[in-house]
Amino acid sequence: YIHDHPVFPASQLSSFKAIVTMSDIITVQTKPYSGQKPGTSGLRKKVKIFQQEHYTENFVQAIFSAMPDGSEGKTIVLGGDGRYFSPEAAQIILRIAAANGIKHVILGQDAILSTPAVSALIRSLKTDGGILLTASHNPGGPDEDFGIKFNTANGGPAPEEVTDRIYKITEDIKEYKIVKLPDLDLSKTGEFQHGPIKVTIVDPVSNYIQLLKEIFDFDMIKNWLHTTTPKPTVLFDALNGVTGPYGRAIFIDELGLDESSVQQCVPKPDFGGSHPDPNLTYAHDLVARVEKEQIEFGAASDGDGDRNMIYGAGAFVTPSDSVAIIADWAEKAIPYFKSGIKGLARSMPTSGAIDIVAKSKGLEVFEVPTGWKFFGNLMDAGRLSICGEESFGTGSDHIREKDGVWAIVAWLSILAAANKEKPGSGINDVLMQHWKKYGRSFFSRYDYEQVESEGAEAMMSHLRETFASSGFVGSELKATSSDTSFEVAEADDFSYTDPIDGSVSTKQGLYIKFVDGSRIIFRLSGTGSSGATVRLYVEKYSKNESEFGEDAQVGLKPLIEVALSLSKLQEYTKRDKPNVIT
Ligand code: G6P
Ligand code: ZN
């Protein structure tokens, strides 16, 4: 399949003449693979699929061919969460980059860089983009998941226009170009000439930690941690993902805590065999130790470091509350926001807790569809500072990805600031104080994973028909096990018009708003790998202080009953219980 006489454009010949000889660039004939359609999180498939002959090469060639203004002379960042197949993929990418005229690659040592760190590097070094090797919170290993994602020069995931172009190219790709380069030693930092490209291998952590130190007041956090008696206890769990070295740099090197304050902090190619997903189900080691040792501040991040969970003894912070509380404290606790907050935002299913903070501060607040990409335009336009999603994503305009470690340090900052006001404040005190001021949005999500797609689609159609039937708006929906009923105020399929570029995204989730402000939302996940995942979100707002201490599942029970009976979920999905409740 290798041409006897390599073919390549004259433009490349002239620019490389001095360094590579003609025979160094090889054009390899290939055939398209179907299904190389990148979502906003890139192309995610099983490792075995990526290992097929030409599969990875095809997709990587398509990325370079689709780069805005071409790949010639460009600089990119390359790194990922260290999962299985990452070093092999990095070598392939270097060879194809070399043949496509890429001039300079900034590579994380051992091909490691968290997703937020890639975004930060793209922005601080003003590169033309970056390639991330990750499948986020999904398991890793020879039989598990791998992923390749392209980010553009603003540091954010490539917009649909670019990913569509990549996909089109993969659909009729006939050849790709490589330079036959030996494997580069990825373990040493420094500057290397690798065939025609300059490769700078960087320590994955230092640039990112520098950025965090510009954003946060580390001295204030240290002061709280070291001068309080008894000393607050802290535990960070990287779930064997990429944030291990970042966590160590922060908790041990910067904040001066001891080894017992971190766990699972060595990135493993298979994440130790578990899901590197920071939620109550998959971060059970953290939850168990926090409860057993009554640790005040616990936190975890996902495989590639963009998600987070905040969990102290007896105190779970829902992601919806987390972003609202960060927004509320930001100007006081985080120097980056001292000069003011531009605007706030959340995804549609995320609770309205942040809306209430926005209202009280007189800030703009945006409700966007699920997916971090929807925040990017607003940030680039200077209208958004802090945003979050119920799916354990929280972040700000310091980069263009959500940022797990940032959220964790934001919470440390809040606790440090809260302790200045009222010594001894813990996570529960901060939560309670917030609810007393703004009311509490009870929120929960039920996930029904690997449901048959047909059943899931049928359930959504049934709901759409119900919404459209006359008299639905204004009707009373009654809970099955109590007298509670809810009057429908509005029911629709969420659609979003981007205020910056006017683009319209339709069918982003079915929602019912009730007269009392409660909501029920149904969505099919966009990230599942087999079958369909039905997500049911419920939200209830309360200003009644006597309810604030209540377990969310108790308070939300009537709404969940309404949602289940209205949707006939159990009938359509043949599931009587969700796989995960968050
Ligand atoms: C990824 C995206 C998030 C998004 C989430 C939704 O993690 O980066 O921005 O919220 O997927 O996943 P879902 O499975 O609900 O479509
Ligand atoms: Zn992730």
Q: Average pLDDT in the 343-365 region?
A: 97
How many A from CA of 552 to the centre of ligand 2? 26
pLDDT of residue 15: 43
Q: Does pLDDT of 502 surpass 50?
A: yes
pLDDT of residue 4: 38
Q: Does pLDDT of 369 surpass 60?
A: yes
Measured between alpha carbons, how far is 313 from 505 in angstroms, rounded to an integer?
40
Indicate the average pLDDT of the chain.
93
Looking at the chain, the whole-number percentage of residues with pLDDT higher than 70 is: 96
Ligand 1 atom 15: residue of nearest CA? 525
Q: Does pLDDT of 9 surpass 60?
A: no
- Cβ–Cβ under 8 Å, residues 238 and 110: no
pLDDT of residue 511: 97
pLDDT of residue 549: 86
CA distances from 83 to 25, 86, 142, 391, 392 (A): 29, 6, 10, 22, 21
pLDDT per residue as tens digits for the range 459-489: 999 999 999 999 999 999 999 888 889 999 9
Looking at the chain, the whole-number percentage of residues with pLDDT higher than 90 is: 87
Give me the DSSP letters along 14-63. HHHTTTS-GGGEEEEE--PPTT---BTTBEEEEHHHHTSTTHHHHHHHHH
Q: Does pLDDT of 503 surpass 60?
A: yes
Sheet holding 104-112, edge to edge: 43-46, 145-151, 130-133, 75-80, 104-112, 197-202, 190-194
pLDDT per residue as tens digits for the range 86-124: 999 999 999 999 999 999 999 999 999 999 999 999 999
**533 Cα nearest atom in ligand 1:** 14
For strand 262-263 and strand 308-312, is the pairing parallel, antiparallel, or unpaired?
unpaired
If you ran DSSP here, which 8-state letter would residue 184 be given?
P
> Hey, what are 334's tokens?
């985080």
Q: Does pLDDT of 10 surpass 80?
A: no
pLDDT of residue 483: 86
Ligand 1 contacts CB of residue 535 (under 6 A): yes
- Residue 7 banded pLDDT, cuts 50, 70, 90: very low
This prediction's pTM: 0.92
Q: Average pLDDT in the 206-227 region?
A: 97
- Cβ–Cβ under 8 Å, residues 121 and 80: no
- Cβ–Cβ under 8 Å, residues 58 and 33: yes
Measured between alpha carbons, how far is 431 from 408 in angstroms, rounded to an integer?
15
Measured between alpha carbons, how far is 322 from 328 in angstroms, rounded to an integer?
10
Measured between alpha carbons, how far is 401 from 208 in angstroms, rounded to an integer?
13
Ligand 1 contacts CB of residue 529 (under 6 A): no
Q: Does pLDDT of 20 surpass 70?
A: no
CA distances from 118 to 137, 150, 418 (A): 17, 11, 32
- Residue 200 banded pLDDT, cuts 50, 70, 90: very high
Domains, the chain: 30-204 (3.40.120.10), 208-438 (3.40.120.10), 440-581 (3.30.310.50)
- Cβ–Cβ under 8 Å, residues 61 and 548: no
How many A from CA of 404 to the centre of ligand 2? 9
Q: Does pLDDT of 2 surpass 80?
A: no
Catalytic choice (65, 86, 119, 136): 136
Ligand 1 contacts CB of residue 527 (under 6 A): yes
pLDDT of residue 529: 64
pLDDT of residue 559: 95
Ligand 1 contacts CB of residue 156 (under 6 A): no
34 a catalytic residue: no
Q: Does pLDDT of 18 surpass 50?
A: no
pLDDT of residue 482: 86
Q: Average pLDDT in the 63-81 region?
A: 96
How many A from CA of 57 to the centre of ligand 2? 24
Ligand with smallest separation from the Cα of 307: 2
